[in-house]
Structure 1
Amino acid sequence: MRLTAALYGLAAAIGALAQSDEYPPLKSDGPYALHVKGQCNSSIDGYLYAVHEFSTDHDPDTGVSVLHYAPVPAPMAGNSSYRFYFNTSVDDDSGLGFVVTDIHASNATNLYKGKAMFWTYFPDTNVAILELGEGADPYNVQFVGFGEDEKAFVYAQHDDSTAVVGKPGPETSVNLYGWAICWQTRYTVTGFTLSWITYGKPHNPTCERVDLTRLKL
């Protein structure tokens, strides 16, 4: 895999993105709707939409959003909060990239060409929350891929279950599926929210594991 998109993260981390033409430009694919379907006997079946974490924030170019679940048979037509994009580098043949919304939103480096989805972890739970927008950086934005079945996965090169004392940690490519819908509160908004179970049984008892897929609009 040639993860040329990783150059963007490296450049941002060291503050070296001085000239945007030094790196392959990102291309945007979409718009897509994001569909969630519950596993096993779950009744979850619907679409995700972006909600600002602060009700007073009405500027689409700024702020942070979470992804709430709506049990609807189709995304609401004409509602931009249901529209998402998939950004990757032009010469990247890996099929991996970043899920974003508001592709015209401005940010300090224009790193992700939109408000990228990132993971926020907490020390008191094994359930992370997915957010979009300001706060996205190379350390909390993950490469996402969509398989032949269009199911979303997170690509990782870290597996600490194989750690051996005295030896460097191995890099083992693995696709992770930890998506869940959980009842969550983030600042001023509460609702059924796209979340990520890091491992095992979720600490949040409202969580239901789901498959996340995309639908071209």
Structure 2
Amino acid sequence: MMFYLTLAALAVASTAQNDLRSKDFALQLSSTTNETLNGSLLYACHEGAATESLCPGGKPSDEEPLQLYAMFHFNTSTSSANPNDTKWDNIGGILGYDLPYNHDQIQPSAMFLYIQPTSNVALPIITPAESSSTSVFFEECGSMYIKQYYDDTTIPPYANTSEAHIKNWYICDTYYGYHYRTLAWVVGLDSHSTPQNPTCEKVDVKRVYA
């Protein structure tokens, strides 16, 4: 069930566990099969009260530089990162977004994967509830991924110590609060993950600093 609450009810301060914030960056798509998606930037598209998904938009240019597009940031904990490390490579944390409202107000928000029991296509959703956020990582090249800690393709299932970098990002026609074409995540290991949504197109998502 989806709840559409007011900003006041959802106002949540950033927790001490993720008090280390990166510089702002954009999220850029890479596609080997769709030139329109390749190089396009993600922006926060409205799904409900204080609720956003991530939609593909335009590409940066001289007329529309990177800074004009949606800016995100990466929040992690002081226990897992060196504050002098400005590259933030292969460190777990949350994808953050400052949601603007009332013209000059900002509501700190974070991304989580919304999973529907009848679909293997999960939706990255941005809300002010940081406590329900999904942990993500970035490679040295800027590619965003989720680590594999558990493998149930074997008998018996076991904790996976290889910590594989899983990048099951797609752009699909989706519905949460509205019909959009949005970023999506296919649940499962990459070698076992075929989206049941026929509109999905495989992409990579990369961090590009402003």
Q: Please confirm whether the aligned pair reaches a TM-score higher than 0.5, indicating the same fold.
A: yes
**Alignment match, 1:88:** 76
Aligned pair 1:142/2:134, yes or no? Answer: yes
Residue matched to 1:153: 145
The alpha-carbon deviation at position 85 of structure 1 amounts to 0.5
Kindly state the Cα deviation for residue 185 of structure 1 after the two structures are TM-superposed: 2.0
Task: Tell me the residue number matched to 1:123.
Answer: 117
Distance 1:153 1:31, change over 3 A: same
Q: Is 1:52–1:64's contact at 8 Å kept on the other side of the alignment?
A: yes
- Gaps spanning 5+ residues in structure 1: where? 1-19, 58-62, 107-113
CA root-mean-square deviation: 2.5
Alpha-carbon separation, structure 2, partners of 1:191 and 1:24 = 33
User: Does 2:171 match 1:181?
Assistant: yes
2:196 is aligned, of 166, 185, 203, to 203
Contact 1:163 1:170 in 2 (8 A): no
CA distance 1:190–1:136, shift in 2 (3 Å): farther
User: Equivalents in 2 of 1:148, 1:77: separation in Å?
Assistant: 20
How much has 1:76 moved relative to structure 2?
Answer: 6.0
Residue 179 of structure 2 corresponds to 190
Q: 1:25 to 1:88 in 2, by over 3 A?
A: closer
Preserved contact between residue 121 and residue 196 of structure 2 (Cα < 8 Å)? yes
Distance in 2, matches of 1:163 and 1:137, equals 33
TM-score (norm. length: structure 1):
0.70
Contact 1:105 1:115 (C-alpha < 8 Å) held by counterparts: no
Q: Secondary structure at the match of 1:137?
A: helix
Contact 1:183–1:191 (Cα < 8 Å) also in 2: yes
Kindly state the Cα deviation for residue 78 of structure 1 after the two structures are TM-superposed: 6.0
Q: CA deviation at 1:151?
A: 0.7
* CA separation of 1:151 and 1:25: change in aligned 2, threshold 3 A: closer
Q: Deviation per CA, 1:83-134, whole angstroms, max 9, x where unpaired? A: 100011123136221111017855xxxxxxx311100111222111110114
Using the TM superposition, give the Cα deviation of residue 171 of structure 1 relative to its aligned residue in structure 2, in angstroms: 4.1
Q: Is the 8 A contact 2:74 2:95 kept in 1?
A: yes
- Per the alignment, in what secondary structure is the counterpart of residue 161 of structure 1? coil
Which letter maps to 1:38?
Answer: S
- Give the secondary-structure state (helix, strand or coil) at the position aligned to 2:96: strand
Q: Is the Cα–Cα contact under 8 Å of residues 60 and 66 in structure 2 kept in the other structure?
A: no
Q: Work out the CA distance in 2 between the residues paired with 1:105 and 1:92.
A: 27
- For residues 78 and 176 of structure 1, the distance between their equivalents in structure 2, rounded to whole angstroms, comes to 28
Mark the CA change 1:105 to 1:158 in structure 2 (over 3 Å): closer, same or farther: farther
How many corresponding residue pairs? 174
Structure 1 counterpart SS, 2:153: helix
Shift in Å, 1:212: 0.4
Asked whether the 8 Å contact 2:18–2:75 carries over to 1, the reply is: no
Secondary structure of the 1:82 match is coil
Paired residue for 1:68, among 31, 34, 55? 55
- TM-score, structure 2 normalization: 0.72
